[in-house]
Structure 1
Amino acid sequence: MKTVAQAVGEVVKGQHFLEEALARGIVNYSALASDLQPKISDLLRKPVKTGAIMMALRRYPIPPHIHQSGQIKNSLRLLGDITLKSDIVAYTFENSATLIPSQVKLLDKINHREQLFYAFTRGITESNLMISGAQKDLVSSYFKRERQMHFRAKLSAISVKLPQDNYKITGLYYQIFKDLAWNGIAVYDVVSTTNEFIALVDDALVEKAFTVIKRLKSNH
């Protein structure tokens, strides 16, 4: 049978940013326990006292990446150049036997255009293609036989150079995307390499997103 501590842990993990608030000691345990009481009681299928929930909250084991704030702050200070690319369009295509050949034809056509933005990510059932808006006609031509599942225009790409060995720092990406989320910025897609990541956001949010990411460097 599930315990109060297990039920509390399950709920906390499902609440955005609550783990960090607990780690920072900025939570009113009594108020939070009262707020969680109906959900915990439903999970356990019996009435649960707020005192038991408070005790579980105080004993909640904070994940390691929440405690590694020193390493994360140092990595954020070492973030490199932040660049912007505007007028990006994004396509989602259903995976098919002809999708990669279509991509090869497109790449052969745009290969010499060094300033052009282009990214392609392949999933299990679908693939995303992101490219400068001026190339829409080329995409329409080379991918006309593919099943297009989604299209999005008026996007901007924010590219951030990451410090070396960033992949060893647990929670670095979490910190970046947490700050974007706290500022109401939805990320349409993310493309990453070992030492760089690119976030695609709506044109209307790009200035705000740029400011948030830039502030990460100066505030740490």
Structure 2
Amino acid sequence: MKTISSVVEQYIKKKPFLQSALAQGIINLTSLSRQIRPEVSEILGKDVKDGAIVMALKRLSDDLEFRATHRIVKVLKNIGEITVRSNLTDYTFLSSETVLPQQAKLLEAVNEDQDIFYTSSRGVNEINIVVSNKLDDTVETLFKNERLTQKAENLSSVTVKLPAENVSVPGIYYFIFQRLAWEGIVLYEVISTTNEFTILVNDDQVDTAFKTIKDLKTL
């Protein structure tokens, strides 16, 4: 049997931005209850009073599940080094039997210059390579026989070191990428390891991306 509490809970769970606001106590429960009352009433098949919805929302805000945002904020306050690199080019090639040997040759060129930025990821059908643009000629020579599906220039990267506990707290990446989306940041690539992730953005958005991530430490 559906209850007011269960219907309200399902409504909030489908809207993560409301869940975050509710967990942080920054939303007017009375105003929210008026907004969601028509849908709650329709699901239950009867008229529901605003006061009943407000009580359901209060119970949710006290629930540990809806206070998970506070755990996320605690982790983000301990974000480590944030590194920015510019003048990058992003290449995407279709996977093939010859692409990996060519990538090994590229690594030899990368190892000759410690100032070169290089990162790569491999999907099921594609391989992605991001390098400092001073290596563009090298990449295009080595991979001239590979099928290039995309090339993006004038990019910058923001690399973030996360505290070790990030792997045990759900929602860390959602919370970060939500903030970037709110700022209108377009992510060309997201590359991550256990305690570190790198985003690739347009040069003209890198300052905003850096500030958005840095500000997470002061939430």
TM category (shorter chain) comes to: 0.7 to 0.9
**Worse-superposed segment, 186-195 or 208-217:** 186-195
Read off the aligned partner of 2:118 and give its amino acid letter: Y
Structure 1 contact 66–171 (Cα < 8 Å) conserved: no
Q: 2:109 is matched with which residue?
A: 109
Q: TM-score, normalised by structure 2?
A: 0.79
Shift of 1:166: 2.1
Q: 2:122 is matched with which residue?
A: 122
Read off the aligned partner of 2:33 and give its amino acid letter: Y
Q: 1:96 is matched with which residue?
A: 96
Read off the aligned partner of 1:137 and give its amino acid letter: D
Read off the aligned partner of 2:206 and give its amino acid letter: V
Q: 2:179 is matched with which residue?
A: 179
Shift of 1:110: 1.8
Gap runs ≥5 in structure 2: none
Shift of 1:117: 0.8
Q: Secondary structure at the match of 2:158?
A: strand
Q: Secondary structure at the match of 2:85?
A: strand
Q: TM-score, normalised by structure 1?
A: 0.78
Q: 2:85 is matched with which residue?
A: 85
Q: Determine whether 1:159 maps to 2:163.
A: no
Gap runs ≥5 in structure 1: none
Identity of paired residues, percent?
37
Shift of 1:71: 2.6
Alignment of 1:115-154 (within 5 A): 115-154=115-154
Shift of 1:12: 5.8
| Bigger share in helix | 2
Residue among 27, 30, 33 paired with 1:29:
33
Structure 2 contact 90–130 (Cα < 8 Å) conserved: yes
Q: Secondary structure at the match of 1:187?
A: coil
Shift of 1:186: 2.0
Distance in 1 of aligned mates of 2:107 and 2:84: 22
Residues 1:103 and 1:61: Cα distance change in structure 2 (over 3 Å): farther
1:157-176 deviations in whole A, cap 9, x for unaligned?
01111112321122222221
Distance in 2 of aligned mates of 1:156 and 1:50: 54
Distance in 2 of aligned mates of 1:191 and 1:215: 21
Read off the aligned partner of 1:71 and give its amino acid letter: R
Residues 1:148 and 1:74: Cα distance change in structure 2 (over 3 Å): same
Shift of 1:208: 0.8
Structure 1 contact 86–156 (Cα < 8 Å) conserved: yes
Structure 1 contact 65–170 (Cα < 8 Å) conserved: no
Residues 1:74 and 1:97: Cα distance change in structure 2 (over 3 Å): same
Q: Determine whether 1:200 maps to 2:200.
A: yes
Residue correspondences, number:
210
Alignment of 1:54-69 (within 5 A): 58=57, 66-69=66-69
Distance in 2 of aligned mates of 1:191 and 1:65: 28
Shift of 1:67: 2.2
Read off the aligned partner of 1:202 and give its amino acid letter: N
Shift of 1:100: 0.8
Residues 1:65 and 1:193: Cα distance change in structure 2 (over 3 Å): farther
Distance in 1 of aligned mates of 2:123 and 2:64: 30
